[in-house]
Structure formats: C-alpha cells, structure tokens
Amino acid sequence: MKQYKPKDFAEMINVSVKTLQRWDNEGVLIAYRNPKGRRYYTEEQYQQYMGIQSENKVGKTLIYARVSNQGQKDDLENQIEFLKTFANARGMIVDEIVTDIGSGLNYNRKQWNKLIDRCAEGEVS
C-alpha cells in the first residue's frame, strides 16, 4: 500500500499539516508511525477520507430519494439527478435507485422500510 508524508497527504486532502497533527492527537484521522516515530498516511486512509469505495465491498450501492406528495414528482427527479452526480463524482457506481412518495413524518414508507431490511441483511453496502 502506498504511503504519504504528512505534507503530501495534507495537500491531497486540502488541509494543513497542523490540522493533520491535531486530528491525529484528537483521534479524528490517526496517522501511522514508522519505527522512528514519524507520521505517515496510507492510500487506504486517503480513499476512506475522500469517500471512495474500495473494490472488494460486497453489497450494492444505491441511492434513496423521497418527496412528500405526487405534486413533487419533478423534485424527485431533481433529487435523483443530484444524487447520481454526487455518487459519480465520488467514483461510485449506482446499482439501483429507490424512491418513495410519502410523508417524512411517519415510517409508513414501503421502499424505505425494505431498504432498511436489505441493509441489515448485508445486501446493500
């Protein structure tokens, strides 16, 4: 696995080296240490920080969108397009799109409840 010095890693994720040091001390993004005690970061940490999924994940990637009533169908399509764009920008391939039309104030949402069950079964990553 590729390793990065703190300066290089800070540039990659667009923060300062001081921020990386603080995050390490606070347990937010813990650096690895070499035998001399110097910090370094890995490609895996970069991918995790950037939200890039690894190749060996098991489960589908899907997006969920919901609107409150039938009159908001256009908004639903806009949500779906936004979520697709977001996922593609992060390097994710969307396997499935799940939508619901119904109130967000109760949990009588068929597709949402099915999605929760699928997550519990490990079908969805």
DSSP 69-115: SGGGHHHHHHHHHHHHHHHHHTTPPP-EEEEEES-SSSS--HHHHHH
The catalytic residue among 54, 68, 103, 125 is 68
Q: What are the residues whose beta carbons fall under 8 Å from the beta carbon of 114, sequence distance 6 or more?
A: 98
Annotated catalytic, 54? no
Q: Is residue 85 a contact partner of residue 79, using CB atoms and an 8 Å limit?
A: no
The neighbouring-strand residues paired with 41 are 4
Catalytic residues: 68
